[in-house]
Amino acid sequence: MSIPVKNIEKEFLLKMLYDQRLPVILKKNKAEYILFLERQTKKELVFSANKPIDKLIKMEKLNFLFDYHGKIIIFTSALMQINGNMLTFAMPDYLYKDLDRMFPRVEVPAGMKIHFSFPEERLDLPFPRVMEYESGDTEDIFKNIDLKNFSIIVYQMSSLVKRIATAYKLVFFKDTKPSTLEELIVSKTGKAMYLPSVESGLPLEDPFPEKRIITKDIFKTYLESTGVSVSNFDELYLKYINSKADKGILSALWVPIPFQEYIIGYIFIWSSEKGKVPLEPKVIEIIYQYAKLLAQSLKVNDYFKDGKIRSDIFEEKIVDISITGLMFTCPPSDLSSLLLKGSNIIVKMIFEDKTLNVNAKITRRFNDDSLWHIGCRFMDMKKEDYKKLFEYIYNKPFTETDAKNLS
C-alpha cells in the first residue's frame, strides 16, 4: 500500500525536485511529458513542460510521478493556470511513497470504453450492514464440506467447541434485532468481541492483519458513539468485565456471521470451567471460518431468496488506470453503497478491436467532493491480456522486464 509522506518529508522532496532538477513524469492521452519544477509557493507548484500538452483543462486533476534515489513518489494535483509550456498546479495535499504498484497511473485513452458489472447477485437484506464486503471464500481445509448440509456444519463446529470451551450459542438477526451490548457492537463493527479472560479484559492490540477483533479502545469509541459519557470509562469498563464474572464466564468470544456486507448473526462461545485453558486467539480464526461456512450454507439453502436484486451493467467516470488496476468515481446512490472494500466486480474494457473482461477487487474507497472514489485491483489476468492492455494505455512495447515486474 502507498504511504502518504509527512509534511517535513514532503517539503524536503519538493525542495529536491527544484534543487536537483529532477524530472517529473506526466502521462496524458497515451503521451508522456517531462516536467521540471520552476518555483513553488505555499499554495502552488509551477512546472515547465518539455513540449506542449494537448487538451489541458483548468481544474483538471492530473497524476505525476518522479524517482528520488530509487523510490517512486506520486501525487495528484489540479491544474490552475496555463501559460504556454508553463503550468501552475495546486499544492498537492499529499505525496505518496512505498507504492504497491510498479506501473504509473495514466488517463484512460480517448478511444477506450469501460463498463462494470457484479460477478454475483448482490442482495438487499434486513440485516445490519458494515462498510466492508465479505467474500464467501474459506480456507482450503473447509473446501470439501457439503454446504447444503447446514446441520453437519453446526455439528462439526459444536464438536470443536466441546474440546475448547464450555458451550456455545448460535444467534441470527432475521427475526430478532441486535439488542445486547455485544450484539450491537459486533453488528456495528463487523469485528469479533474477544474476552481472553476476565482477569486480562479486552485486548489492547489486534494481532490479526485484517483487524478482526474489538480492542479496548474500539469498545470505548463505540460507547462514546452511542452517547455514553466516557469521562468515567474505567469505572464502566470494570463494571462490564465484572458482569461477565458474575455470570460465571471466565473467557468468551462473540464472532459475527458475515454475508456480503451484512452481519446476519453471531456465534457466542464461552468457558466457565476453572482450570480450563482460556480461549486462544487462534480459535477466533477457526470460528470465523465456520461463521462464513454457515452463511454460505444458508445461501445455498435459499435463506436469502427474498432479497435478490438485479446485477446491472453500469458505467462511471474513470479517474485513471494502470496495468494493475483503475480508479473511478460514483455519486452517492444505491449503487455506490454496494461498491464496498473487499467486494468483486467485473471490468469490461473495449479498445481498438479488443475486448477484455477482467475480474477486479475493490481495495480503496473514499469520499471526496461529494463523490465516492473507488479503487480496484485487476485479478488473475492472463499474460497476453496484460500485454494488450499495457501496450494500449502506455503506448510502448511490453518487455520481459515488465513481465517480471508483474510477477
Residue-wise pLDDT for 231-271, tens only, equals: 889 999 999 999 999 999 999 999 999 999 999 999 999 99
Q: Are 345 and 333 in contact (CB under 8 A)?
A: no
Mean local confidence (pLDDT), 280-295: 92
pLDDT level of residue 396 (50, 70, 90 thresholds): confident
Sequential DSSP letters for 43-102? SEEEEEESS--TT--TT-EEEEEEEETTEEEEEEEEEEEEETTEEEEEPPS--EES-S-S
Query: CA-CA distances (angstroms) from residue 148 to 83, 119, 134, 151, 226?
Result: 67, 22, 20, 9, 39
Q: What integer pLDDT is reported at residue 364 of this predicted model?
A: 87
pLDDT above 60: residue 100: no
**CA–CA separation, 121 and 109 (whole Å):** 31
pLDDT level of residue 5 (50, 70, 90 thresholds): confident
> Which residues lie below 8 Å from residue 48, measured CB to CB, with a gap of 6+?
35, 36, 38, 85, 86, 87
Residue-wise pLDDT for 10-26, tens only, equals: 999 999 999 989 999 98
Strand partners, 66: 73
Q: What integer pLDDT is reported at residue 98 of this predicted model?
A: 60
| Residue pointed to by grid coordinates 495514466 | 106
| Residue pointed to by grid coordinates 510498479 | 102
Domain annotation for the chain: domains and CATH numbers? 3-97 (2.30.110.10), 113-122+310-406 (2.40.10.220), 129-306 (3.30.450.40)
C-alpha cell read off for 24: 517529473
| Residue pointed to by grid coordinates 486467539 | 281
